[in-house]
Chains A and B, each alone.
Chain A
């Protein structure tokens, strides 16, 4: 029974990781940028959800939509202000800028909302409760997390594989110059990719707040790092690989705890990062790409 419970713990944690990791993968696939501000967009999303419920008393559906919209808008603004001017700069400059944006968002949140945590009224978002399957207590939150993240991933897969926009995204990812020659507006596609990644972050923010109902300026940091490791493990740039990575990292984490090694969870996760980078830098499902000369 303990084993099945730990399995469920891993599954719900993995759903959140996978969702967040997809944001990394989408952006990396297109502009080869590790968007380290991604976790902090989730943090901002948490505050948007919090204040739309507690300060503006919005109905849950509206609050959820506003969170996703707010994250998307924030990502577009960040892309336009911070990343677009650096499109032709070395990739390292872009990476450093992303870290800078991350620090900026955290400190802004600290100035506006304070360093202390805010309790998140998750009961206002949807009913807190559980059903029993045999002796196992399955919370509504974990059911909704599973459903919502699988649904988000399915929509994303459909978008990328079946729509014209998705085709354009893949084209830009493959060869930006050639895509531009074929008449694709590369700038629009890049902005759109950031927006999609951020919308996923918005959903991630809602799920995070429901599972961990204490919103603080620093909540995006560790979540972002874990999701980043998940993306690298699965193969950054590959959507199915990233989802797999998210679940694997969560199972690893819960597995380490289950066998009594709770003090090694961080260690195990980052050991995986080092091992992947040493042995198979492209991740489980990533493609080996030739450097273009």
Chain B
């Protein structure tokens, strides 16, 4: 298997340069993502103001829409603004996989096991 971690030139940073033409392409992508993030934020705020809370299914659906839109926004920030999408696949996995696993586990344990101790928790606040 070909090694992908070998760098002939000893400075990674020196290899990260790009030309003016590439720069123009990157900038146009940045502005597109900006427009999308702004649009999603406006949609979220509009939904938050417009929809009234209720106990039925509609509010649950709205909540999950909020979470979905937030994850889309987070994805664009991490992959484009933080350039994780341009890094090597193995780095991407080393960063994302442990985090997603830990957070899913934390949420699972809070929901699944936490409420048995809720009385104890309520005495602390």
Are chains A and B native binding partners rather than an unrelated pairing? no
Binding site for B on A (CB under 8 A): none
B interface residues (Cβ-Cβ under 8 A, vs A): none
